Amino acid sequence: MSAAGLDGIELQAYGHLMDQFWSPLTNTLESPYGGSLNNRIRFTLEVLQAIRDRVGEKLIVGVRYTADEAFAGGISPTEGIEISKILRDTGQVDFLNVIRGHIDTDAALTDVIPIMGMNSSPHLDFAGAVREASSNNLTTVVDGKIQNIDQRVDQRVDQSQVQVDGFISNARKEFPFYRITKNQLLTGTTGSVPSHWSSGGGTSFTLVQSVNTGTLWENRTAEEQALLTAIGRSGVQHFLRNFNIWKMEWSTPTPSHTMYQQVNLSTITTVAAMVKLLSGSLSGHWAQGAVLNEWKLTGSHYGRTNLAYTHCHPYRGSPTGSILFALPACVTGHVPIEDGVWGEFPYIGDTQND
C-alpha cells in the first residue's frame, strides 16, 4: 500500500483477529499470548512492529478498535483504556478510532454501526472519555452515524467550556493570595480611624467589638455569629488571630470617598471586606454589593495597569448612613469572592505582623 502511494492504513480490531486475542471471551490461550492483558495484546504489538519494519515511519498507521465490548466477560471500559495507553506508548500508532460494542450478532452490530431510526453518534461521548483518560496527545477518531455534526460539535464545545470554566474557578481558589494593605484586623487607631487607614471628611468611626479566637460558639454575640456564618465559619471556635468589628458613619454627602489605603495596581487586585449596611447607601471597592441589615462578603476586582494606583475607598451614595465592617483588604490576584472565598491574608510589606 505504501508503494502504491497510499498515505496510511487502518487496522480493524472489533470482531476481527487482533481483538480476538484481546478479549477474554475469545482468548483461552496460555502464555505468551493468553492470560494477562499484556499477553493478550502481544500479537497486536508484534503485528505493529512488523508493519513498521517494512514501511518505516512515513506511512500513517491507525487502529479501529473496541474499547468496550459492552458484553459480560468481554473487554471492559477499564481494559479498553489500558489498551489505548499501550497502543499509544508503542509510538507506532498515529491515530486511534474508538468504537464500543461487539459484532457477533446482527442486533449487536447495529449498536456498533447504527441504522436508520437509531440514535446518532452513540460512541462520541465514550470516545471523548477514552481520549481524555488515555491519549490526549494522540489523534482520536470516532464515527458511527454522526448526523447533525454542527449540533454535536456545539454540544462538545459547550461541555468543554464548562470544563475550562471549572478548571479556572478551581485554579483561582488554589492560587496563593497576598495582602498589599496593612491592618486587615483593624487593631489600633490613628486618630479616630483604624491604624494605617485614612478617610474622607464627614466620617466617624467606632470600635464595636473584638471577635476573639478560642470563644465557644454559644458564647459569641449574635453579631459575631452572623458575621462568621456569612464568611462560612459557622460554629467555629478557633482561628488564627483576633480581629475587630468597626462601625463607620457619614453625615455629609461630600467628599464622596470614605475609608481607604493607597495601593499599586500593577497587578490584578481584589478589594473586599465583610460589610453590613445599617442605613443609607455605600458602594464601590470593598463595599460593592453591600446589603441592608445583612452581613455579606462585598468587593470588586481590578485588572493590571502599569504605573497605576487606587485608594480603594467606597463611595457614599446618600447624604448620611452607616455600616459595620470587618477584615477589609486589597489582595493580589483574582480572589473568587463570588464563591465566598475570604479571610485573613498574609501581608507583603514592611513587617510580618501588619
pLDDT in tens, 131-177: 887 766 677 666 655 555 565 566 666 777 777 777 776 766 667 89
20 pLDDT more than 80 = yes
Q: What is the rounded distance in angstroms from the CA atom of residue 309 to the CA atom of residue 265?
A: 5
pLDDT of residue 28: 92
pLDDT of 113 reads 73
Q: Stretch 187-202: mean pLDDT, rounded?
A: 93
Q: What sections of the chain are H helices per DSSP?
A: 17-22, 37-40, 42-55, 77-90, 106-112, 124-134, 149-174, 222-230
Q: 3 vs 53, which has greater pLDDT?
A: 53
Give the chain's count of helices (H) and strands (E).
Answer: 8, 15
Across 195-219, average pLDDT: 96
Whole-number pLDDT of residue 144: 55
In terms of pLDDT, which residue wins out, 35 or 110?
35
pLDDT at 291: 95
Residue 352 in this model has a pLDDT that exceeds 50: no
Q: Above 70 in pLDDT, residue 122?
A: no
Q: What does the pLDDT average to over 305-334? A: 94
- Evaluate if residue 317 carries a pLDDT over 60: yes
Query: Higher model confidence: residue 351 or residue 73?
Result: 73
Q: Quick one: cell of 2?
A: 505504501
Mean pLDDT calculated for residue range 102-111 = 78
Is residue 207 within a helix (H) or strand (E), and if so which, with residue range?
strand 203-211
Q: Is the pLDDT of residue 332 over 50?
A: yes
What pLDDT shows up at residue 353?
47
Instruction: Specify the pairing of strand 189-190 against strand 321-332.
Output: unpaired
Determine the Cα–Cα distance for residues 30 and 34; give it in Å rounded to an integer: 4
Q: Is the pLDDT of residue 290 over 90?
A: yes
Between CA 169 and CA 179, with CA 173 as vertex, the angle to 5 degrees is 130
Average pLDDT, integer, range 116-136: 72
CA distance 5 to 15: 29
- Of 8-22, 119-133, 290-304, give the lowest mean pLDDT range: 119-133
What confidence tens digit (pLDDT) does each residue in 25-61 have?
A: 999 999 899 999 999 999 999 999 999 998 888 899 9
| Over residues 239-251, mean pLDDT | 96
Tell me, what's the pLDDT at 143? 62
Rounded to an integer, the average pLDDT of 233-238 is 96
Per-residue pLDDT for 259 more than 50?
A: yes
pLDDT of residue 14: 87
In angstroms, the CA 313 to CA 292 distance is 19
Residue 262 pLDDT? 93
Domains in the chain (CATH in brackets) are 8-173 (3.20.20.70), 189-339 (2.60.120)
